[in-house]
Chain A
Amino acid sequence: GEDVEQSLFLSVREGDSSVINCTYTDSSSTYLYWYKQEPGAGLQLLTYIFSNMDMKQDQRLTVLLNKKDKHLSLRIADTQTGDSAIYFCAEESGGGADGLTFGKGTHLIIQP
């Protein structure tokens, strides 16, 4: 079945770049997503990438997609304390017919 894997924790210094990695399994996924969840809150859509793209940049966020290796990454430039949250990678399951399949989330910890 579909599975999305992420590291559970990432610790970076304020001002550095954060790179959160994800591997997915459903090759029929047309879109791949990154969501952010702050404590006590729902999921906030950060960005998404179409499967025929290699890279997408949106202000401080850069998404890289290696479709051959089914590897997705999210780079956050100039990481700030407000970026502290859990970041979820998600793929469309069954081509989107089975909702989104999420990774377990990566806790991004910012060190001053």
Chain B
Amino acid sequence: KAGVTQTPRYLIKTRGQQVTLSCSPISGHRSVSWYQQTPGQGLQFLFEYFSETQRNKGNFPGRFSGRQFSNSRSEMNVSTLELGDSALYLCASSGGTGPGSTDTQYFGPGTRLTVL
């Protein structure tokens, strides 16, 4: 089975712009979660999508949004970029059967976003 893929791998934007990142989960997986990784804050949960609906959300401002399509592919959007949004954005897919099960998350390689 192919793993989780993320595009693009690298992105450079300027402050005030917006950006869209894409994630294709492992075939058959219905849940996609997004995480932000920075040197200062480490890995932080952004949100999770399951069956085209946002199921869980972390503590991030409304500039961060996402969506999921019927084929389980997900996109994440960040509007009005700030310097502090520079980070590695990781996507993870899982079966989506919920907590308390062997619903292991498998991560993609990430998209490295640099905001200038």
Which residues of chain B from 68 to 116 have a CB within 8 Å of any chain A CB? 90, 92, 98-110
> Measured between alpha carbons, how far is A30 from B98 in the docked complex, in Å?
11
Closest to A48 in B: B104
Q: Judging by beta carbons under 8 Å apart, are B33 and A43 in contact?
A: no
Q: Which residues of A come within 8 Å of B, CB atoms? A: 30-31, 33, 35, 41-45, 48, 88, 90, 92-105
Task: Please tell me the size bucket of the interface on B.
Answer: 20 to 34
In the complex, which residues of chain A have a beta carbon less than 8 angstroms from the beta carbon of B35?
A: 99-100, 102
Q: Judging by beta carbons under 8 Å apart, are A98 and B104 in contact?
A: no
The residue in B35, B42, B108, B110 that gathers the most chain A C-beta atoms within 10 A of its C-beta is B42
> Measured between alpha carbons, how far is A92 from B107 in the docked complex, in Å?
15
Other CB < 8 Å A-B pairs besides A35-B107, A93-B45, A99-B58, 6 of them? Answer: A42-B6, A43-B107, A90-B43, A95-B99, A102-B43, A104-B42
> Measured between alpha carbons, how far is A74 from B12 in the docked complex, in Å?
37
5 contacts between A and B (CB under 8 A): A35-B107, A45-B104, A96-B103, A97-B99, A98-B56
Indicate which residue in B45, B58, B108 contacts A42 across the interface (CB closer than 8 Å).
Answer: B108
Q: Judging by beta carbons under 8 Å apart, are B105 and A96 in contact?
A: no
In the complex, which residues of chain A have a beta carbon less than 8 angstroms from the beta carbon of B48?
A: 99
Q: Judging by beta carbons under 8 Å apart, are A42 and B43 in contact?
A: no
In the complex, which residues of chain A have a beta carbon less than 8 angstroms from the beta carbon of B98?
A: 96
